[in-house]
Chain A
Amino acid sequence: MNFFAWLGRITLRSLARLGFAARFMGFLLTQSGTSFRRFHLTIREMYFTGVMSLVIIGVSALFVGMVLGLQMYEVLKRFGSGDGVGTVVALSLLRELGPVLAALLFASRAGSAITAEIGLMKATEQLRAMEMMAVEPVARVVAPRFWAGVFSMPLLAALFNVVGIFGGYLIAVPLIGIDNGIFWGQMQANVDFHYDLVNGGIKSLVFGIAVSLIAVFEGYDAQPTAEGVSAATTRTVVTSSVVILMLDFVLTALMFQGN
């Protein structure tokens, strides 16, 4: 019986949290006017979430692209099609690795910071103080961070793709010695604008919404103690990572049905 009580308790608790998150999302959207009317609030947050993530995104993408180049060439060579390494690098980055890895890095670099910041503001009663001054904290603090994340994510994913492809190029052309024209030509012939690029962009937009929502929600919902904020930060990274990977499967199944 204990087991069933435990199962029932966690089911009810997670459903209640999910409902609260959905209502929070709705409230956030109704309070979003301020983040566009006073756009400098959003720009400021884009600096902290987007610009500050550029270095980690760029370095990771370069190495991911180089590893992809080496590994794919190694395999493709066995089938006598080593020239196709550019195609494989570009397709895997555009369709999967770019959006997913950029979102995972974004969740751990920017998402955790957002949660910690909002959680600490709650713990030190700054949010309460804003309410006292008739300033809605969701409009002033939460919504700009959310929208900054939503705007930054597709841009970061696009930059991840470009730097990753450049990493693949560095391996394929100067190191392995594939012809420059063949590398780019094969890539361009086999990568479709709609099917690959636009679908990858949609993925990164969805991930951006999911990660930003989880980050601001966990921060806003955190226990207002030092322990609570640290737990919320951990939950942001864990939940975002799992949600990104599950959403990625759902989106991939919808977009690429292998016809």
Chain B
Amino acid sequence: MNRSTIDIWVGIFVAAGIAAVIFLALRVSSPSSFTSDDGISVIARFDNIGGLKLNAPVKSSGVVVGRVADIRFDPKRYQAEVTILLFKGIDFSKDSSADILTAGLLGEQYVGLETGGDEAMLKNGDTISITSSALVLEQLISKFMLDKAAETKASQ
């Protein structure tokens, strides 16, 4: 086989391989692990985070505006301390509220952010004070059962 023919074929092979990698990088995957994106990080404390996981999305109006960067247990307050990384260029007011919500009935849990009316914006290291915990299915069911029992007792 001629040397230049071999060169051309290997060139085509390498180019196709590199094109495949680029295709996989651009069309198939998304660079979501850019956690060091220079946004601001805020802290929210919850009584119960349910099944919230690291890197879970933080959504506002259903749009992803940040990620859960760290989850810790605060041994002084006996609460879960969740560090939220908000993407650059998105500002929320100081009295924003954070809820732990579930996508679908049994889906992944995420943090829902809702902005408040305060003029001042959240800064790096601030704490979101208005939070509501995750809905735990067992607690919900037991509460419902107790209510039902109380109702039937009252009606008798």
Contact = CB atoms under 8 A, between A and B. Distances in A.
**Chain B associates with chain A:** yes
B10 A47 contact: yes
Nearest to B32: A192
A28 interface: no
A82 to B, nearest CB: 15
Interface stretch (B18-26, B42-50, B74-82, B144-152): B18-26
What is the predominant secondary structure among interface residues of chain A facing chain B?
A: helix
A193 B30 contact: yes
A207 B54 CA distance: 31
Interface stretch (A16-24, A155-163, A173-181, A226-234): A155-163
A44 B7 CA distance: 8
B9 A47 contact: yes
Interface string A150-170: 001011101101100100000
A127 to B, nearest CB: 23
Nearest to B12: A51
A189 to B, nearest CB: 7
B23 A162 contact: yes
B72 interface: no
B54 to A, nearest CB: 7
A51 B13 contact: yes
Interface in B10-41: 10, 12-14, 16-18, 20-21, 23-25, 27-33
Given A47-B9, A51-B13, A197 B27 contact: no
Contact of B54 (A54, A162, A259): A259
A154 B6 contact: no
Contacts of B153: none
A158 B20 contact: yes
Give the contact-size bracket for chain A.
Answer: 20 to 34
B121 to A, nearest CB: 29
A51 B10 contact: yes
B13 to A, nearest CB: 5
Q: Give chain B's interface residue range (CB within 8 Å of chain A).
A: 20 to 34
A90 to B, nearest CB: 5
A188 B17 contact: no
A181 to B, nearest CB: 12
B63 interface: no
Contacts of B29: 94, 188, 191-193, 196-197
A161 B20 contact: yes
B17 A156 contact: yes
B141 interface: no
A193 B32 contact: yes
A54 B12 CA distance: 11
Interface of A: 40, 43-44, 46-47, 50-51, 54, 90, 94, 152, 154-156, 158-159, 161-162, 165, 184, 187-189, 191-197, 201, 259
Given A51-B10, A193-B31, 5 more contacts: A47-B13, A192-B31, A193-B25, A193-B32, A259-B54
24 contacts: A40-B3, A44-B3, A47-B1, A51-B10, A51-B13, A54-B16, A152-B13, A155-B16, A155-B18, A159-B17, A161-B20, A161-B28, A162-B24, A184-B27, A187-B28, A188-B30, A189-B30, A191-B28, A192-B29, A192-B33, A193-B29, A196-B29, A197-B24, A259-B53
